[in-house]
Copies of this chain bind each other. A is one copy, B any other.
Amino acid sequence: MEVIRVPGVMRQTAKGHLLRGRTIGFVPTMGALHRGHLSLVSRCREENDVAVVSIFVNPAQFGPSEDYQAYPRDVEGDMEKLRAEGVDVLFIPDVDGMYPEGFATYVEVEGLSERLCGAFRPGHFRGVATVVTKLLNIVRPTRAYFGLKDYQQAVIIRRLIADLDIDTEMVGCPTVREDDGLAMSSRNLYLSPAERKAATVIYRTLCQAEEALLSGGKGFAEVRSLMERGLAGEPLVKEVQYASLFDPWTLADISSMDANIYRGRTVLLAVAVVIGRARLIDNKLVEVPGVDQVRP
């Protein structure tokens, strides 16, 4: 595994592969790799000639009161995992390499960025969009892999790739879960054993909401309050930032809409809660049954 730390060197290396007609697959990460990341890496490895992974804890996507300093870092452990996965290139730039003095350019995806997590993390998706644009320009991947646990992020990145005419196919990959359903996240490391157990309420609540949608009879507003009550019922949940139904394309909150409008279509159930010092998110796509498909 080649380890590259300088953006210009990474760009030249990628260009060399492209000029030889090779496809490049790319998994951008912030490190502290778990099985969720590795599922992306393994798919990236399978589908491309060259597999590139980046590790960069991007300061631009953390708010001043957020966990940039505390964010888990384990480069040695990560490198071992990536070598075992057969990754060809690890790109691990430092902050000065990515944001040199005088840096002033930001990418913003309007509308999509202000909803859900964006409302609670102002500037977060601007930081994400900027670093992803930079990384895609440096690595020039044929395909880039993103986990769908960060559903809003995936929608935003798909939009920016199309809007800025970036020559990369965005591949969204399913969320990987622990045995008890908790979505894999580097931030799960923040949880105490009691909090870790309490965190299972997130996926359980999503599944209950899905069930309510599939069995029909309940309006969207009812499903929304079912989710809110489910999460708030867990004493270790300090804050429910949002728990609602969204349009999976526009990310608009649709909880006040008539469920009939979405019959036969897909809705996004999405949740953000704070447990201990971890802000955790999760989501589920549900196909709302058509008029004659409501289960008995």
Contacts and interface: CB of A to CB of B under 8 A. Distances in A.
Nearest to A108: B106
Interface stretch (A164-172, A184-192, A204-212, A224-232): A164-172
Contacts of A18: 19
Interface majority SS on A: helix, strand, loop or mixed? mixed
A73 interface: no
Contacts of A21: 19
B102 A106 contact: no
B167 A15 contact: yes
Interface in A55-90: none
Nearest to A167: B11
Nearest to A161: B105
Interface string A118-151: 0000000000010001100110000000000000
Interface residues of A, number: 31
Given A165-B7, A165-B138, A160 B105 contact: yes
Nearest to A135: B165
Given A105-B108, A134-B164, 9 more contacts: A102-B159, A104-B110, A104-B112, A105-B110, A105-B163, A106-B110, A107-B164, A137-B164, A138-B165
A264 interface: no
A133 B130 CA distance: 12
Given A19-B19, A19-B21, A137 B167 contact: yes
A162 B228 CA distance: 46
What 6 A-B pairs have minimum CB-CB distances, sorted nearest first?
A105-B163, A137-B165, A105-B160, A104-B110, A138-B165, A105-B109
B107 A107 contact: yes
A111 interface: yes
Max chain B C-beta neighbours (<10 A), residue from A11, A163, A167: A163
Nearest to A133: B164
